[in-house]
Structures are given as structure tokens and as C-alpha cells.
Structure 1
Amino acid sequence: MPLVIVAAGILVLLLLIMGLKLNTFVSLLIVSFLVALALGMPLEDIVKTIETGIGGTLGHLALIFGLGAMLGKLIADAGGAQRIAMTLVEKFGQKNIQWAIVASSFIIGVALFFEVGLVLLIPIVFAISRELKISILFLGIPMAAALSVTHGFLPPHPGPTVIAGEYGANLGEVLLYGFIIAIPTVIIAGPVFTKIAMKIVPASFKKSGSIASLGEQKQFKLEDTPGFGISVLTAMLPVILMSIATIIKLTQETMGIEPNAVLAAVQFIGDASIAILISLLVAVYTMGIARKIPIQTVMDSCTAAITQIGMMLLIIGGGGAFKQVLIDGGVGDYVAKLFEGSSMSPILLAWIIAAILRISLGSATVAALTTAGLVIPLLGQTDVNLALVVLSTGAGSLIASHVNDAGFWMFKEYFGLTMKETFATWTLLETIISVAGLGFILLLSLVV
């Protein structure tokens, strides 16, 4: 019965968002209340549960998410992202242009959220396409693959960051294992899949696309942008700090080294919030002060970044409320009992649940949060690596993007594709990322 109630709640959510065009955050709150009532939760506990869900989720995420948005905005507004892309294109040459796009999109994707990275990179990709007289989609698929993989697998992106907090996983381990999984996944979903897509829908590679909807784009002369090295360092600094701390921690545990003040300091600096704060301060200097940009202009960029993510934070909070209702309403315990004694790995189960919810709901972040509400009670029954469960949830939440996902329509319109062509390129691309990601996660689970 609890699973029937959850299924009904998801149908109501779809009706509210897609049918009645209600705001996603408001829809999540309404469904959270309805599902709580249907599960028989005491009336006096429902509001407290929803507040706990919103507060618990945003309390962990808001700092990382907010600072990460500012960092990405500073890099974008200073022209650092353009410098990274154009330098790599020049170094790789026309013959290896796809690999240049993959490398630059991956580096930029670490620092920028998916939608921001897409809007920033598409004009660059269009310009390269015109200059080299090659298909826009030939470059667009590798770009989208790299941005999507970093969005699904690597902190400080919302999905993996939120889920790591919910599962109690070490964010540094999620980042380290995420990189190991992300690199081969990007290769398969980017350059390799492009060759397959050219055979499936050859006509789509002749489309010219349109970025008119993006409006006036800020253009930089390359000599006016920050240097390539400093741009890459600024974008990757949070990853570097978190990775160093995680590697040292794993080495300490493996070798049995006693904790000391130096190790404590390294772990402090490598904490996600501190690492991103340090990186933001470095970016204020490298992307602003060092380039004689007034501090007020730099701060305006930071303010604009926070304004742009306000609604997304509320939606994530709404997803957290729904997740908490599933836990406090006993749905998670019910799922745990169903799989008691089962040999199915929580890694695979988390992926399956997230995939079903992603296809139903459209939002990867909401799908991942709802999965957490169902999977958390299972985690106490097994010694599975929590970082890998985080990544499998992220992988499942990327699968089969279709008409209920904003990314589907963005890709369709920018590249001038028909519905059929979008399904054969974007939807298939996201599915390959999800399935390949799961495969590499299961392989990694045999080692860690």
C-alpha cells in the first residue's frame, strides 16, 4: 500500500507540473502534504516533517551550491571559460576538434552548473562550427555529454552534493570516484556515440541550429581574458583541494597513521564548503582584482549568481520535504523490508528507483532526492560503499531525458532538431551516460 500511495503522489505531481503548469516547488509541497496524509501521519507531525526535510537538505547544500554558483559566474564573466575552450581548440587542432570540445566542456562543467555551462558554451561551439565548416551537432553531442556527466557525478553540482549529504557519504570520495567513472563515460557518450548518432539520424547533422533565444552574447577578445593556466586552476581548485584531502585521508586509513594537527588542517581545507570558499576568494583575485576589475563589479557578478539559483534552491528544498515524508511516513522502511534478505546490491536498487523516478518526474535532482527517501533505510543493512550509492543514484537520475525535462527542449531548439531527432540524440545520449555510468560504478565496487 505505501508504494501505491507514492505512485499516486508522483502522478499528482506530474498532473500539477505538466497539466496545470504549477510551479515545481509549490507542486512538491502540495504532494508532500497529500502523501503524508495518505500515509496516515499524525497531523501535528506533518508540518514538522516538511520543515525538517527542507531545512536538512538546504542546510547541507545552500553553502556549497551558493558559493559554487558564484565561482562559476566569476569565471564566466571574466572570460575564463572562453579562454579555456579556445586555447584547447587551438592546441588540439581541427583533426581532434571533438576532443578539444570534450576537454574544455569537462573543465568548464566542473565549475559551472549544467544550464549555465550549456548557455555559455553553445555560442562558442557555434562559432567554431562556422569557422571550421563542420556540423554543429558533431561538436554539440560531446559538449552536452561532458556537461551532463559532470552535472550528474561530480560535486559541487546539486545532485551528487545533496545525495552525499543525505546518505552520509564522504564528499571527497564521491568526487574522487566520480572522476574515475566520469572520464570513460564521457568518452563513450561523447565522441564514440557521435559516430553512432551520425548513422541513426544523419539528417540531424546537417541542421544549422539557432541560438537567437540566448540574446546578445558577451564577446571577449582573447587577449582580454585571463590566461589559460590561471583559468583552469581557478575552475579546478575546489576539485584539487577536495581530492588531495580525500587521498590523504584514504592513505592515513590504509597505513594506520595516527590523527595529528597537520592531517586535521588538511581535512579542514579539503571540506567541500571550505574548499569552495577558498576557491571563490582566489577567483575574486584572479578573475577580478588581478585584472583591474573593480571589486563592486566582481560582487555584482556574485549577486547575479545567487539570484539565478534562488528558485532551484527552493525546488531542491521541496524535493527534500518529499523525501522526508517518505522516510517519516514509513515508506523507506517498507522498501527495506521488501528487500530484506535480497541479494540485490543497494547500488543497483538505487539506480533502478532513480531511473524510474527520472523518467516519471523529469527533474534529475528531485528524482535523486526521492530515491534517497526510499533507499536510506536499506543502507544500515549493508556495508556497501556510500560514495558509490551516491554515484549510482546520480547515474539513474540522468536516464532517458524526454519531454518533461527542460534539457530536452533546450537541446532540441538550440540544434534545430525534430522531436524524433532529439530522442535519437539527446535522450539516447543521457541513457548511455546513465547505463555506462552504472557499469563503471559496479566495476569500481569490486575494488573499493
Structure 2
Amino acid sequence: MTSFIVLALGVLFLLLMIIKFKMNTFIALILTAVLVGLGLGMPLGQIPASIEKGIGSSLGELAIVFGFGAMLGRLIADAGGAYRIAKTLINAFGKKRMQWAIMVASFIIGIALFFEVGMVLLIPIVFAVALEASVPLLYLGVPMAAGLSVTHGFLPPHPAPIAISGALGANPGTVLLFGIIAAIPTVIVAGPIFTVLAKKFVPEAFVVKKKLTAFGEMKEWKLEETPGFGISIITALMPVILMAISTIYSIIANDGKPFAAVVKNSVDSAGKLTTTSTYPHSLLENVIMFIGNPVSAMILSLLFALVTMGWMRRKQNTEIAETIVDSVKSIAMLLLVIGGGAAFKQVLIDGGISGQIADLFQGSSLSPLILAWIITVILRIALGSATVAALTAAGLVQPLLASASPNMAALMVLAIGAGSIAASHVNDAGFWMFKEYFDLDVKQTLKTWTVLETIIAVVGLAMVLIMSIWIH
């Protein structure tokens, strides 16, 4: 139990530093990671290596995704495209149905995009809609986050569901079908229904904001000065379009698995380890693999935005450069905070907490679906990473599926996926992303984001258990 006490004390220390003493979040996260590493008995030399690994593995891809995503969003906003999209959506759906429109759009977009990419792309548009409709950003932000989170945890081709499907021998297509059935009621409960409750419990978070720290202040526009709705929405959703093409092709041609390089390790006669990567032979598959990668999708989309929201709007290069510089300044601290959360997570993983959690459940007589969910939830709370929690849990419950049907394996994937979303808190990068993007304090984030993620996990498990009555 010592490790769990150390973890609890570490979380309390972090909250105390941020809430009570108003310490910079990034610094508080790194200090907490060091202290928790010491408490877990890690060698002194391993702690900085774990911190470096955590930050590097998290920001390696996110630096480009967030950086280019912020540039893309600011280009669209500064050209008036975000205002045009907001105005058109409000006119089409009305204020009363706007929340549902945002939720459905986020769900559809979330199938093709990673959670982080979807958040980066949708925040500017949702912010513009909230301003134009004079509603609190969270009123639309909670359904948006619900749509992105549910697809991230439940549906292939997202990394965790695909990886768990492979580990448990489930068909990704079956997981996708069952996942959609479970996801629809889940996102409705966690989105519009939870928003009603959240407004009562956290009223101070539901205020109309004119400016976001991570995005800046929205300009006022006359509609005739803005680009057309068609070109604006295509520019904003270009990463979605590129990744959707890759996703659809992989479902049709590759059994739902994304195209990726095959990495092989070999040892030569001298005992030297060499690593080789073999890419798909087909030119088409290489192209699909390229455009489906979040990094290359964001690069191509930014180039497209420079044309449609920059030069086609007769903007000077100096204006475009100023927009890009401003966009990067606004997310600098956000990237550091996410990196700090990833460093804390890595220290917990390297400190061996996941193995101790596994030992707790040896010989349990619980239902395999409930057992898998509980193990994943505990791992998620302890480690922070949804993907690591899901993959670790999949390895632990794999022996329980020795004689199970393919359909039961698919349900197990969903149970683990639901558990991997639960109780996101201070050791999860998503927690800090939501806090920074929506300009909330830690208490408000715990009452909104953490509760939202837990509702998704609980309702998701309930849907899996209901489906298991008819599906064997």
C-alpha cells in the first residue's frame, strides 16, 4: 500500500501548490514528479530520465499538432472564417439546438481525429459560436468534449481500441459497430444532460467569455467582409477530411487497422542490434499512410489555410506572419503544462505502480467485463494515461478470454475503453488541456472535466453490460 499512499500524497501536494500557493502549474508538476519518484523508491538517476521521456514522448507529436493547429485556427479566425461558420450554424440550427449540433459534429469529427487534434481544431469554432450566440463557452464545450472523448475511448481507428482489439483478438469492425451502439447514449448523457447538472454545481464556470488565454480575443466582423461558409468549413476541417479518407480506406482495405510501418529488430553476427522499418509497397497505401498521420495532415492543412485564409484574402506576408507568431505565443504555456502532466505520468509508470495494481486482482471471481473495467479505472487513476491503462488491463484480462467468443472479446474491448476514460485528473495531460483551453481553475476543472470523463466511463460500462445480455 506504500506506493498508493505516495501517489495520494503526491496529488495532494500538487493541488496544494497550485490552489493554495498559486505556483506555476508546470513547475508544480515537475516538482511533484520528482518527489513522487523519490517516494516510490526510484533511483535518483532514473527520475530525470523518466521526466525527460514523459515530456519527449508527449510533446514529440503534440508540438506540431498543437502548434500547427493553433496557427490554422488563428488564420481562420483572423480572416473571419470562424465568424462565418458560427453565424451560419446559428442561423441553421438556432440557439436551442446549437448544443446538440456541436455534440453531433464533434462525435463525427472525433471518429477520424485524435482527441487532442479535435480539441485544437474545434475550440476556435466553438468559441466563435458561443460568442455569437451569447452563451457560456462550457455550455457548448462540454458536449464537444464528450463527443471527442467517447470516440477516443470506444471506437477504432483510435490507438487504444485498435491496440486492445489486437491484444484480445477482437475484430476492429465488430468493435466499431458495437462501439457506436454504446457510444450514442453515452455521449448524450455526458453531453447535454450533464451540462444541465454542471451549470447548477459549477455556476461560476458557466460565464460568457470574450477572450481565451490560449486563443486570444475574437475580432468583430461584418458578414460581407468574411470568406464564404464553404471555403471556411473546408479549411477548418481539412485535417478531418484527410484523416477520414485514410480511416475509410483502412476499414475497407486493411480490416480497420491503420497503415503503419512494420518495425523489425535483428542481431547480426557481431551481436549488434539493428532496427529496420518496412513501409507499404503500394504507392496508394503510402499516400494513405501519409495523409492519415496527424502530423502530416496538420502540415498539409496549414498550407491549405495559408492559401485560402491568407493569400486569397489578399493578406500581406507580414500580416500572416504576425498571426502565426501570436498563435504560437498563446499555446506556449499550454504545451509545457501538458508536458509536465506527461512527466508525472511517466514517473508513476516507471515507479511500478501498474504491476502492484495487477497483483491486487489475481484470482478474482468478478464478471470478466466488470473486472476489466475496474482494473482499467484503477490504472487510469494511478497512471493518468488512458492508452497505458487500457493496454495494461488488456494484458491482465487476456487469460479470461481463452474460451470466449469473438463478440465477447469485442465487448471486453469496449469495457476496457470505457474504464480508460474514467476520473481524468492532475496526472493526465487531457485534464490540463481542458483547463487551459477553457480558462478554468483546478477546482472548476475537477468538477466539470473529471466528472464528465467519469460519467462516460460509468454509462459506457452500463451499455456494455446491457449489450452482453443479448450478445454472446
- Once residues 371 and 352 of structure 2 are traced to their aligned partners in structure 1, the CA distance between those partners, rounded to angstroms, is 21
1:203-229: CA deviation from partner (whole Å, max 9, x where unpaired): x8xxx9654677974111112112112
- Once residues 47 and 464 of structure 2 are traced to their aligned partners in structure 1, the CA distance between those partners, rounded to angstroms, is 36
Instruction: Give the deviation of 1:59 after TM superposition.
Output: 1.4
1:129 aligned partner: none
TM-score scaled by structure 2? 0.67
Cα separation, partners in 2 of 1:314 and 1:346, compared to 1, 3 Å: farther
- Once residues 297 and 372 of structure 2 are traced to their aligned partners in structure 1, the CA distance between those partners, rounded to angstroms, is 30
Between stretches 40-49 and 339-348, larger displacement belongs to 339-348
1:154-192: CA deviation from partner (whole Å, max 9, x where unpaired): 68xxxx9xx95999789xx9xx96995776555445555
TM-score scaled by structure 1? 0.70
Cα separation, partners in 2 of 1:288 and 1:275, compared to 1, 3 Å: same
| AA at the equivalent of 1:380 | G
Q: How does 1:217-236 map to 2 (within 5 A)?
A: 217-236=218-237
Q: How does 1:40-439 map to 2 (within 5 A)?
A: 40-93=41-94, 96=97, 99=100, 110=118, 112=120, 119-126=127-134, 136=135, 142-150=139-147, 152=149, 164=159, 180=180, 185-191=186-192, 211=209, 217-254=218-255, 260-340=282-362, 342=364, 343=368, 344=370, 346-347=372-373, 349-351=375-377, 354=380, 368-369=384-385, 377-382=392-397, 392-394=419-421, 396-397=423-424, 406=435, 432=455, 435-436=458-459
Instruction: Give the deviation of 1:274 after TM superposition.
Output: 0.8
- Once residues 239 and 330 of structure 1 are traced to their aligned partners in structure 2, the CA distance between those partners, rounded to angstroms, is 37
- Once residues 362 and 224 of structure 2 are traced to their aligned partners in structure 1, the CA distance between those partners, rounded to angstroms, is 62
- Once residues 408 and 294 of structure 1 are traced to their aligned partners in structure 2, the CA distance between those partners, rounded to angstroms, is 29
Instruction: Give the deviation of 1:253 after TM superposition.
Output: 3.0
Contact 1:40 1:329 survives alignment (8 Å)? yes
The count of aligned residue pairs is 399
Instruction: Give the deviation of 1:122 after TM superposition.
Output: 3.0
- Once residues 343 and 103 of structure 2 are traced to their aligned partners in structure 1, the CA distance between those partners, rounded to angstroms, is 36
- Once residues 20 and 430 of structure 1 are traced to their aligned partners in structure 2, the CA distance between those partners, rounded to angstroms, is 27
Cα separation, partners in 2 of 1:390 and 1:113, compared to 1, 3 Å: farther
| AA at the equivalent of 1:236 | L
2:16 aligned partner: 15
Cα separation, partners in 2 of 1:428 and 1:44, compared to 1, 3 Å: closer
| AA at the equivalent of 1:350 | T
Larger proportion of helix: 1
Cα separation, partners in 2 of 1:73 and 1:213, compared to 1, 3 Å: closer
- Once residues 281 and 212 of structure 1 are traced to their aligned partners in structure 2, the CA distance between those partners, rounded to angstroms, is 29
For the residue of structure 1 that corresponds to 2:220, the secondary structure is coil
1:343-391: CA deviation from partner (whole Å, max 9, x where unpaired): 345455434554x57xxxxxxxxx843x666665444345678996567
Instruction: Give the deviation of 1:110 after TM superposition.
Output: 3.7
For the residue of structure 2 that corresponds to 1:5, the secondary structure is helix
1:128-167: CA deviation from partner (whole Å, max 9, x where unpaired): xxxxxxxx57xx6651333322554568xxxx9xx95999
- Once residues 295 and 207 of structure 2 are traced to their aligned partners in structure 1, the CA distance between those partners, rounded to angstroms, is 39
For the residue of structure 1 that corresponds to 2:315, the secondary structure is coil
1:241-284: CA deviation from partner (whole Å, max 9, x where unpaired): 21221222232233999962312221121111111111111111
Identity score, percent: 38
| AA at the equivalent of 2:424 | S
- Once residues 314 and 30 of structure 1 are traced to their aligned partners in structure 2, the CA distance between those partners, rounded to angstroms, is 14
Long gaps (5+) in structure 1: 127-135, 358-366, 413-418
| AA at the equivalent of 2:310 | G
Between stretches 334-343 and 227-236, larger displacement belongs to 334-343
Cα separation, partners in 2 of 1:268 and 1:119, compared to 1, 3 Å: closer
For the residue of structure 2 that corresponds to 1:316, the secondary structure is helix
Contact 1:164 1:390 survives alignment (8 Å)? no
How well do the aligned residues superpose, as a CA RMSD in angstroms?
A: 4.8
Long gaps (5+) in structure 2: 111-116, 166-171, 260-279, 399-408
For the residue of structure 1 that corresponds to 2:254, the secondary structure is helix
- Once residues 56 and 427 of structure 1 are traced to their aligned partners in structure 2, the CA distance between those partners, rounded to angstroms, is 24
1:364 aligned partner: none
Cα separation, partners in 2 of 1:430 and 1:42, compared to 1, 3 Å: closer
1:86-131: CA deviation from partner (whole Å, max 9, x where unpaired): 11222235775555565678779946467655643332121xxxxx
Contact 1:78 1:287 survives alignment (8 Å)? yes
Between stretches 239-248 and 428-437, larger displacement belongs to 428-437
